[in-house]
Amino acid sequence: MAEPTNIRIFDTTLRDGEQSPGASLNHSEKIEIARQLEQLGVDIIEAGFPITSQGDFEAVKAIGKDLAQTTVCGLARCVDRDIERAAEALRSAYKPRIHVFCATSKIHLDHKFKKPFEQIVEMSIKGVEKAKSYVDDVEFSPEDGSRTSIEDLVTITQAVIDAGATTINIPDTVGYAVPDEYGAIFRELRERIPAIDELGIVLSSHCHNDLGLAVANSLAAVQNGAKQIECTVNGIGERAGNAALEELVMAMTTRADIYENYKTSINTREIYKSSRMVSNLTGLSVQRNKAVIGQNAFAHESGIHQDGMLKHRDTYEIMDPRDIGVPESKLVLGKHSGRHALSDRIKEMGYTIEGETLQRVYDDFKQLADRKKDVYDEDIEALLDIRLGEGRKLWELRFLRVTAGTDETAMAFVELVDSAGVEQKDTAHGDGPIDAVFSAIQKITGVLVKLEEYVTRAVTGGKDAMGETSVRINHHGRKVRGRGVSTDVIEAAARAYLSAINRIKTMDEVKATGE
């Protein structure tokens, strides 16, 4: 059998993913995710769109300099200043790629550009040549490619290959394509442009999930000759999102009988951790029934299924949770466990923390173990979430008391500690206990925000379960998320609200110190 074709995984979590409504990542969070993506084994990371903001520019620059194994890519329109900015951001990258794009569909040409197609081809050639003057690795995307006529796609693909592009990505920008149709584009391009195979040009898919077909379309592209898939962790992205990395990779792995001619360099055991990190840092939680990494993906409710599972795992389970790195949920520790045992367990779970942070997590753990008899991995992860999120901590919750009832106005007394260690306290009334707590926090921090979304759920089982609250707040039009975890739902809400406020403060600081 011939050697399987390597399918490059192009991760755009930090670019298309970050464009998700509600997602926002600060500089250090982007670097943390990029490092994890390298662990996961992605081939290319699209780290941002440098012309659009200082933050994107800095992220592409820092990630390019940081990662030695993974290609780091910056996005640019076919406009000189965009390409110059991308090149500047990538100047000290180990493996730089510039990705230029230009819309080519009739609907975009008529309504957005108001230019004839010939001029678009000219612009694209110039864009690719300009990018090529800075880097060897140039990718071109005809935006809205799936709604561009095949004649025009052939013309522009040939033109940009001649101009030096080495990867041609055909985006289904609006998530409109269906698998047969999308796959046929790739087949036809290869048939009509011999240079693709002769020169080893990489064709790439980029699919959106508006019709729930992003993964199916990407796989159809692969079976018709695409050698790169653009995707995001947890499938986050514009609107309904992008093709989900974990679904693509696990489909190809689980059905290796069908996809035997292809391989990726993804280390599937890093999937779970990557998914958790992206969800924690973007604040976009993963739906319970999400394929591969949703909380219910490996849970078996029905009695018949449970019976089958006990007799033989394969009866109802097509994937082994361990293959994607789901930590086996075992009872780990109780109130008598020492710091060493906790530290060992944390290491096994894939985290490296020490010193003061470890001490804080240990203190939290002791407190939790007093309230909750058995402490599971999930509980510890929740504690880690809180403490690791404090790299950007400004305000910390010290104390909270709430009075509420059916016949009285809720009142909250809140005590916070600021970054200088100064205690500040205040009380506030509200429509219910949570509203009162939020009002008190606003009074103390002086950050005025509008609460737009409030979701609370149990992370672990039982009546002493840890509750997780996530909030979305609006601060002068900027939407920011925060998460908090506690066995007490009101405390979880307070922590979530405070983490969002801390995030706003950090973003303001990053902005103020930007070049």
Closest approach, Cβ 175 to Mn ion, in A, equals: 9
**What one-character DSSP code corresponds to residue 429?**
E
Instruction: Give whichever of 49 and 365 is closer to Mn ion, judged by the CB atom.
Output: 49
* Residue 230 binding Mn ion, by CB under 5 A: no
Instruction: Give whichever of 16 and 364 is closer to Mn ion, judged by the CB atom.
Output: 16
- In total, the chain counts a number of residues equal to 515
Instruction: Give whichever of 16 and 58 is closer to Mn ion, judged by the CB atom.
Output: 16
Amino acid identity, position 452: E
Asked whether the beta carbons of 98 and 137 are under 8 A apart, the reply is yes
Detail the DSSP E strand segments found in 78-210. Answer: 96-103, 138-143, 167-172, 202-207
Instruction: Give whichever of 206 and 475 is closer to Mn ion, judged by the CB atom.
Output: 206
* Residue 144 binding Mn ion, by CB under 5 A: no
The enclosing H or E element of 412 equals: strand 408-417
Closest approach, Cβ 91 to Mn ion, in A, equals: 26
Q: Per the structure block, which two tokens stand in for 339?
A: 């710091």
User: Which stretches of 349-400 are DSSP H helices?
Assistant: 355-371, 377-388
Closest approach, Cβ 247 to Mn ion, in A, equals: 17
Instruction: Give whichever of 242 and 274 is closer to Mn ion, judged by the CB atom.
Output: 242
The residue range among 12-20, 44-52, 293-301, 384-392 that interacts with Mn ion, by the rule CB under 5 A, is: 12-20
Angle at which helix 339-348 crosses helix 377-388, to 10 degrees, equals 90
Closest approach, Cβ 461 to Mn ion, in A, equals: 38
Asked whether the beta carbons of 293 and 311 are under 8 A apart, the reply is no
Detail the DSSP E strand segments found in 13-166. Answer: 44-48, 71-77, 96-103, 138-143
* Residue 16 binding Mn ion, by CB under 5 A: yes
The residue range among 11-19, 384-392, 461-469, 482-490 that interacts with Mn ion, by the rule CB under 5 A, is: 11-19
Instruction: Give whichever of 240 and 451 is closer to Mn ion, judged by the CB atom.
Output: 240
Closest approach, Cβ 304 to Mn ion, in A, equals: 42
Q: Per the structure block, which two tokens stand in for 228?
A: 């790169």
* Residue 18 binding Mn ion, by CB under 5 A: no
Write out the DSSP string of 203-243: EEEEEB-TTS-HHHHHHHHHHTT--EEEEBGGG--STT-B-
* Residue 38 binding Mn ion, by CB under 5 A: no
Closest approach, Cβ 26 to Mn ion, in A, equals: 22
Instruction: Give whichever of 17 and 96 is closer to Mn ion, judged by the CB atom.
Output: 17
Amino acid identity, position 461: G
Nearest residue to Mn ion on Cβ basis: 16
CB atoms within 10 A of CB 128: 26
**Interacting residues toward Mn ion by CB under 5 A:** 16
